[in-house]
Amino acid sequence: MKVDIDLKNIVDNSYSIEIDEISKVHFDTKVAIITNPKVAGLHLGYLLSRISAKELYIITVPDGEEYKNQDSIDNILESLFNHRFNRKSMLIAFGGGVIGDMTGYVSSIYQRGIDFIQIPTTLLSQVDASVGGKTGMNNTYGKNLIGAFHQPKAVYIDPYFLTTLPSREFGAGVAEIVKMAVTFNKDFFEFLEQADLKNPEVLQEAIKQAVQTKADVVAQDEKEHGIRAALNYGHTFGHVIENETKYKRYLHGEAVAIGMVMANNTAVEMNLMEKDEANRIEKLLKKYYLPTTYTIENSASFYETFFLDKKSSDDKITFIIPVGIGGVKITDEVSRVTVMSVLDRFGNI
Ligand SMILES: NC(=O)c1ccc[n+]([C@@H]2O[C@H](COP(=O)([O-])OP(=O)(O)OC[C@H]3O[C@@H](n4cnc5c(N)ncnc54)[C@H](O)[C@@H]3O)[C@@H](O)[C@H]2O)c1
């Protein structure tokens, strides 16, 4: 005997991403804004002048990637139970990617899932982390190893928040913007070459294009069975750099910038990219003071560390290799010899 359960096409996870000054909005339900003391100190007053709710609570967790863990998740859950949140209640993630990922994760598990809205306040979270429904937290085995795909109901991107962002954090966001352009959109890349992202109007346009690129990719492959993995361009190498430097020397976006240069070198080695195109990408990264080189002490051990990446399987490493500017190849067929020759030369190129 068998009973089939037909679950095709019953969920519509569509939502809008607004890129503008946040409009005034009232929620006729219980709402909790999840944030950290730094973001609250800088911008909670502004947010509260725009957002109201039937009952509104503020829940803060300590600032930092090291707090993106089970303790913080438990504390948020505890507050929600204390305030008797129910399945009609809603969460608002108000902060960078750390707050966004944790709020999304809590909303995916609280009473088997409640709604949440993303209000990202860093450039990286505005162009990348807040869009696409990846949520999660870290544990002792690694970053983002626990989580769920859970789409927000809406994303409000207000570029005003970026006026207080430190310049290194700004650069880290630019790295992710460059990533979207190189992998999927040559026109966008050429726009960025000419653009001055310090100009608010130009920045808003760049945010829009990056978000549009990501939204298109997510719409094709929500759960990363295929093309969405291309957004990990620069990350395979970048994760090893973060691991070797114990997550202290570089911001994530900075490690990704170096990783993109390494991936470009691999592409040139494989005749998939012209040297001139690799140079243009490097020049764009340098324009925003992003690091583009890194001294590899031991190429063999660098290579071994690839296998700790959750995107790699037991004996294969998945590389995202740009094919010119505006195209990309996802492959686990890059030979060790090719990669080692790039690693051996890196830092001396
Ligand atoms: N879900 C996804 O698809 C996705 C994609 C990329 C990255 N991420 C995750 O995002 C996280 C990184 O995000 P991030 O770079 O935003 O880091 P973050 O959230 O740690 O924010 C960086 C710092 O900036 C502060 N900050 C936030 N807004 C500010 C503002 N307006 N002015 C001044 N300071 C401000 C934060 O408090 C923090 O100290 C990582 O945990 C990463 O795993 C998730």
C-alpha 61 – ligand 1 centre gap (Å)? 13
Choosing from 169, 233, 254, 309 the residue with most ligand 1 atoms within 8 A of its CB, the one to mutate for a pocket test is 169
Q: How far is CA 197 from the centre of its chain?
A: 19
- CA angle 278-284-288, nearest 5°? 140
**3-state secondary structure labels for all residues of the chain:** CCCCCCCCCCCCCCCEEEECCCCCEEEEEEEEEEECHHHHHHHHHHHHCCEEEEEEEEEECCCCHHHCCHHHHHHHHHHHHHCCCCCCCEEEEEECHHHHHHHHHHHHHHHHCCEEEEEECCHHHHHHHCCCCEEEEEECCEEEEEEEECCCCEEEECHHHHHHCCHHHHHHHHHHHHHHHHHHCHHHHHHHHHCCCCCHHHHHHHHHHHHHHHHHHHHHCCCCCCHHHHHHCCHHHHHHHHHHCCCCCCCHHHHHHHHHHHHHHHHHHCCCCCHHHHHHHHHHHHHCCCCCCCCCCCHHHHHHHHHHCCCCCCCCCCEEEECCCCCEEEECCCCHHHHHHHHHHCCCC
C-alpha 300 – ligand 1 centre gap (Å)? 32
Mark whether 235 is an active-site residue. Answer: yes
Atom 42 of ligand 1, residue of closest alpha carbon: 97
pLDDT at position 9 is 66
pLDDT at position 141 is 86
| Active-site choice (143, 239, 277, 311) | 239
C-alpha 151 – ligand 1 centre gap (Å)? 18
Closest CA to 207 of 123, 271, 105: 123
**Do residues 135 and 147 make contact, with C-beta atoms less than 8 angstroms apart?**
yes
**Do residues 46 and 106 make contact, with C-beta atoms less than 8 angstroms apart?**
no
What is the pTM assigned to this prediction? Answer: 0.96
Atom 34 of ligand 1, residue of closest alpha carbon: 165
Mark whether 232 is an active-site residue. Answer: yes
Q: Which atom of ligand 1 is nearest to the CA of 131?
A: 3
Q: Which amino acid is at 71?
A: D
Task: List beta partners, residue 90.
Answer: 31, 115
Q: How far is CA 204 from the centre of its chain?
A: 18
pLDDT at position 37 is 98
**pLDDT tens string for the chain (349 positions)?**
888 888 776 678 999 999 999 999 999 999 999 999 999 999 999 999 999 999 999 999 999 999 999 999 999 999 999 999 999 999 999 999 999 999 999 999 999 999 999 999 999 999 999 999 999 999 998 889 999 999 999 999 999 999 999 999 999 999 999 999 999 999 999 999 999 999 999 999 999 999 999 999 999 999 999 999 999 999 999 999 999 999 999 999 999 999 999 999 999 999 999 999 999 999 999 999 999 999 999 999 999 999 887 666 667 899 999 999 999 999 999 999 999 999 998 865 4
Distance CA 149, CA 147 (A): 7
